[in-house]
Structure 1
Amino acid sequence: MWNQGGYQDQGQGGFSSPGGFGTPQGTQGDRKSRNRAQNVLPCTTAEILSATQNDDKFYSGEIELSQITIVGLIIAVKESPTRIDYEVDDMTGPPLEESVPEPERIAALRENTYVRVYGTVRSFGGKRNVTAFKMVPVMDMNEVTYHMLEVTHSHLALSKHAASGMSSGAPMNSSTMGDNIYNNQDSGMISGLNQVQNQVHSIIQSNVTEEGASIENVCKQLRGVPERSVREAIEFLSSEGHIYSTIDEDHYKATDS
């Protein structure tokens, strides 16, 4: 969870690579004039692309964007001998490029997969990107909404501290950057279902209305996933007994909701 000290991690260097992923310490002057979220800050691609740059540091208002996390949909994947480049769209602005260097190779994720990315903000040739040290698929679509709430809450908390002249550099524990941070790579996943089927099931399961989730609504939440793929997933889930139709053949509820 986010608190006023940021996402927490007790490691001193955290993740490392040839490029270095440690959180820069900054000068005393920087700490007085800018507010830093220690280690991992929830943010959006729009924030990263519109952030002001001072040398190798990036700021959203008075908040430094050093190590960040975003949630979005992979719309393109490009592999090379030294890295994998992903274009991730979180619907807040133009897609942002995420790069995974060879020493930190992460199993390739496919297009039309929602992911949570952890990384550092960089700029090469005037182009912003994120060098990722961790990427995990989103299994519960509620995480997309939850992430946006985290972005709002964390920035309000840090802005409040900046206005009052307080530091937000609280010590950190391992509950954030380890595998315990959300555990969403395991939660909500049904064995035997593929990525799209799990995402469709999660959306239908989270709908609490009498009529259930409509196919149109599911497609809207899974932007980038072809409608045909959504319908095929719904047909499979229905035939396997995971969901059932309600008022018509376009509305479904989960059998375990």
Structure 2
Amino acid sequence: MWNNQGGGFDGGGFQSPGGFDTPQQSQEKKGRSRAQNVLPCTVAQVFNATHTDDKFYSDETEMLQVTIVGLVRSVKETQTRLDYEIDDMTGPPIEVKQFVDNDESIPAEERVPSMRENTYVRICGHVRSFGGKRSVVAYNMSPITDMNELTCHMLEIIHSHAFNASSGQNMNQTSYGGDNNMSMNQGSYNSGDSGNILGLTPLQNQIHQVIKNNPSDTGASVVSVCQTLRGIPEKAIKDAIDFLSSEGHIYSTIDEDHYKATDG
């Protein structure tokens, strides 16, 4: 796929930690961080991840959900599961399991089709270990129809690494691009987690952190978020909350004015 001897971008092969394939915080000595979205990675990264208390860590970042792009080497079908061997040339093939309901009573058009051998696919799933053997339990698999997606996947890995490394550094001030170009000192609230979510604006990340750090069982109220982020227009905060809710980063609790973070 890329280089069967390279194991990624650092030329280290399977024995290396995977080079750029590990999004992480630069503050390694301050404790492990938690990936807040789907983590792009290589097969080598999965095999080299640290396994502690049923959790997997690539360097200091917890691997909650991963996405891998690779070649289907083999397929085994049963009524309840599809077993694959996926190879991305960074290490030995990894076993990927997809649980399905393909009973004979299910109409053919409703059954989950298996991926064909010798085709490239994207897998989204969770890393698991059973009997010392690591695998990925997939909740979504899709064929690659544009080979540019392979290159895009590697760029996503590099970007995630660079982004998490830079976002791990403490920033003295975060700017909000409103009409008055107002800025809010990060010290006005305790983030508790220096990691930002890819694709969110600074304001959306700030609001997500405020909601995530609220210890209440009912979650953070919209009023309390506005009080915490004084100086930012209420409409801008409510618009950001609506966006975070629609994207699945937060969810309402007792009513539409109280929210908790899905990764809290």
What TM-score results when the alignment is normalised by the length of structure 2?
A: 0.51
Pairwise mapping of residues 174-189 of structure 1 onto structure 2 (< 5 A)?
none
- Relative contact order higher in (CA < 8 Å, ≥ 6 apart): 1
Cross-structure match for 1:148: 154
* Corresponding residue to 1:167 among 174, 195, 215: 195
- The ranges of structure 1 where at least 4 consecutive aligned residues each deviate by more than 4 angstroms after the TM superposition are 169-176
Name stretches of at least 5 consecutive residues in structure 2 with no aligned partner.
Answer: 1-29, 103-110, 171-192, 198-204, 209-243, 249-264
Q: CA deviation at 1:39?
A: 2.8
Q: Which residue of 1 aligns with 2:202?
A: none
Gaps of 5+ in 1: 1-31, 177-257
Which shows bigger deviation, 138-147 or 78-87?
78-87
Code of the residue aligned with 1:98 in structure 2: it is V
- CA separation of 1:83/1:114 partners in 2, compared to 1, >3 Å: closer, same or farther? same
2:155 and 2:57 mapped to 1: Cα distance?
20
Q: Secondary structure at the match of 1:116?
A: strand
CA distance in 2, matches of 1:136, 1:174: 24
Q: Distance in 1 between matches of 2:140 and 2:246?
A: 15
Relative distance call for 1:163 and 1:128 in structure 2 (3 A) is: farther
Q: CA RMSD in A?
A: 2.5
Q: Give % identity.
A: 54
Alignment coverage as a number of residue pairs: 146
Q: 1:126 aligns with which of 132, 142, 152?
A: 132
Larger radius of gyration: 2
Query: What whole-Å deviation, never above 9, does each CA across 1:173-193 have from its counterpart, x for those lacking one?
Result: 7779xxxxxxxxxxxxxxxxx
Aligned to 1:74: 72
Mapped to 1, the partners of 2:90 and 2:245 lie a distance apart of 30
Which letter does structure 2 place at the counterpart of 1:166?
A: S
Change (3 A) 1:41 1:106: farther
Superposition TM-score, scaled by structure 1 size: 0.52
How many angstroms apart in 2 are the aligned matches of 1:173 and 1:150?
A: 24
**Match in the other structure for 1:42:** 40
Q: Give the drift of 1:111.
A: 0.4
1:234 corresponds in structure 2 to none
